[in-house]
Structure 1
Amino acid sequence: MFAITAARIDKTNPLSGLEAGERPDPAPPEGWTTVTVKAAALNHHDLWSLRGVGLSPDRLPMVLGCDAAGVDEDGNEVVVHAVIGDPDAGGGDETRDPRRSLLSEVHPGTLAEKVAVPRRNLVPKPPELSFEEAACLPTAWLTAYRMLFTRAALGPGSTVLVQGAGGGVASALIRLASATGHRVYATSRDAAKRDRALRLGAYAALPTGERLPEKVDAVFESVGEATWAHSVRSLRPGGSIIVCGATSGEAPPAELTRTFFLQLSVIGSTMGTRDELRRLTEFCARTGVRPEIDRVLPLERAAEGFAAMEQGELFGKVVFRVGS
């Protein structure tokens, strides 16, 4: 089968380790199955893998990719849940299994013509969603869904801030939060990305670090060090920061005095469960909300998508079309 792999680890020049070519078809163990991939989406996780984050040299070559939609062995259209974990080890939540992994960390990923996954990791693809749209959901959109609906637990009509508009998680948060009646502020250094955030449904889009016209109930944070102080200072007393990543670094000042005095909460969030992915796909099917897709490329041109992501030239997802 044709696949995109990490062949080498290079922290400074990650794309040098990217290779395209033939790999053996997957041989699923007991309890697993094979999905014929129709579309797969790119994530920052794939770039981090090429830098050796979460992927050790002894596992190379590794097929990259977490997100996919395709057809299972029985001909059903499905979406692949990327979290490989034991729900029982996490009290019914596989994201809390301390031994969990994502596809492409221990097991080959989705940037291939076929991928092997546990049978329980398959979610039915609603007919209302294209393969390309469905392929965007399992990582960035699922992360946003869990942050907004499970971890933040906001009431209707809340006011929120999404830091770093333009990334996959951020654009998903803007779309989901605005679609469910929240007033959404978004930030970006890039004026074009601020304009697109408004088109996604943001109430207002401001330059990174600019003071908001009001304090918010919750901040959704994936940037880290570069925006952390602004996130803390944007919250009303009793507000929450829901954090899923730290792309700019993870050692900002903790702002502990402000945190305890204003009784702020800092809530971590990682990926989502299979059931949350099922509910997300149904939400999109019923509401007409769809992922923002920056570009669709054939899998053979995956290097173009990786380069665009590394250079920050995206708003929304890069999707690779697989096969005919």
Structure 2
Amino acid sequence: MTAVVAARTDPANPLEGLEVREVPRPEPREHWTTVDVRAASLNHHDLWSLRGVGLPPDRLPMVLGCDAAGVTPDGQEVVVHGVVGGTGHGVGPQERPSILSETYPGTLAEQVAVPTWNLVPKPAELSFAEAACLPTAWLTAYRMLFTSAGLGPGDRVLVQGAGGGVASAATALAAAAGLEVVVTSRDPAKRARALELGAAHALEPGSRVPARVDAVIETVGAATWGHSVRSVRPGGTIVVAGATTGDPSPMEAQRIFFTQLTVQGVTMGSKEDLESLLRFCARTGLRPTIDSTLPLAQAPEAFARLAAGEHFGKIVLTV
């Protein structure tokens, strides 16, 4: 079958190790299901894998991809929850959790095998491409907003770096749930798009926010950390799910403890979070922002767009 593979890793030139090649189809395995992939979306996790982060040489070549929606052998339309392990389902209770494409082959292929427990019914209201956008970036944003930060209607949230998958998802989800959303971006076009998604304010990075926020959605890291710490109210929360510009230095620990801030880390979300997210989208009519859709064979073009930061929303590959 055709798959998008990390054949090599290179911290400086991650796309050099990307290949579209033929790989064996998944072997049958007890308590696992092989899904015919209809659509899969890209994440920065894929670029980090190509850099060798979390993907050691002894696991290469590795099929990339965390997100997918497709069809089971008995015809069910499903969404794949990409965290394997930690529950005991399909792998045993002692296996540490990992994300698809770290220990097990990922979703950027004609088929992907996962523990049957990891499959969630796809709502009929969502297309395969829309559903394939949700299990990583949108799931992470959902957990950051509503599980970790505990935000509700009327609360204020700052989303740093509008345009990325998690940031654009957080903007749309927060606006749909009745939050006052402030976003930042260097790109005027991305700020305009964020306003279209429902943001109340779109600012240049580092600009003073209209009012201190209850929580910050932080995926940028060093470039925005100081602004995040200064923009949240005393007792508020900074939820961190990435650091695309590197770890912050200084951490500003004095301000954090003096204003009694909570710093909460998030990696994706639970299967229950994914089920709730799917229901939220189906009932409200909210849909993920899709930047572009390309066939699986054009994966190098899709990855180049992701790496260049030219996208707004999710990049989807279809099978």
TM-score normalised by L of structure 2: 0.97
Contact 1:224–1:252 (Cα < 8 Å) also in 2: no
Contact 2:223–2:248 (Cα < 8 Å) also in 1: no
TM-score normalised by L of structure 1: 0.95
Contact 1:28–1:117 (Cα < 8 Å) also in 2: no
Residues matched between the structures, number = 316
Say which SS state the counterpart of residue 276 (structure 2) adopts.
helix
Query: 2:29, 2:88 → 1: CA distance?
Result: 20
Say which SS state the counterpart of residue 297 (structure 2) adopts.
helix
Equivalent residue in structure 1 for 2:213, among 212, 216, 226:
216
Query: 2:177, 2:149 → 1: CA distance?
Result: 14
Partner of 1:11: 11
Query: 2:169, 2:265 → 1: CA distance?
Result: 18
Report how far residue 29 of structure 1 moved. Answer: 2.1
Displaced runs of 4+ in structure 1, greater than 6 A? none
Query: 1:214, 1:251 → 2: CA distance?
Result: 24
Query: 2:231, 2:28 → 1: CA distance?
Result: 48
Say if 1:290 and 1:117 are closer, same or farther in 2 by CA, change over 3 A. same
Query: 1:254, 1:63 → 2: CA distance?
Result: 36
1:211-245 deviation line (CA, Å, top 9, x unaligned): 11211111110111111010000011111101111
Alignment of 1:192-203 (within 5 A): 192-203=189-200
Partner of 1:79: 79
Partner of 1:54: 54
Asked if 1:301 is matched to 2:298, the reply is yes
Contact 1:223–1:247 (Cα < 8 Å) also in 2: yes
How large is the Cα RMSD of the aligned pairs? 1.4
Partner of 1:175: 172
Report how far residue 28 of structure 1 moved. Answer: 3.6
Equivalent residue in structure 2 for 1:166, among 138, 163, 168:
163
Report how far residue 263 of structure 1 moved. Answer: 1.3
For residue 125 of structure 1, what is the amino acid of its counterpart?
A: K
Unaligned runs of 5+ residues in structure 2 are none
Say which SS state the counterpart of residue 78 (structure 1) adopts.
strand
1:67-122 deviation line (CA, Å, top 9, x unaligned): 00000121100000000112269xxxx9xx98211100110000000000000000
Partner of 2:262: 265
Query: 1:107, 1:258 → 2: CA distance?
Result: 41
Say which SS state the counterpart of residue 87 (structure 1) adopts.
coil
Query: 1:85, 1:211 → 2: CA distance?
Result: 42
Asked if 1:44 is matched to 2:44, the reply is yes
For residue 77 of structure 1, what is the amino acid of its counterpart?
A: E
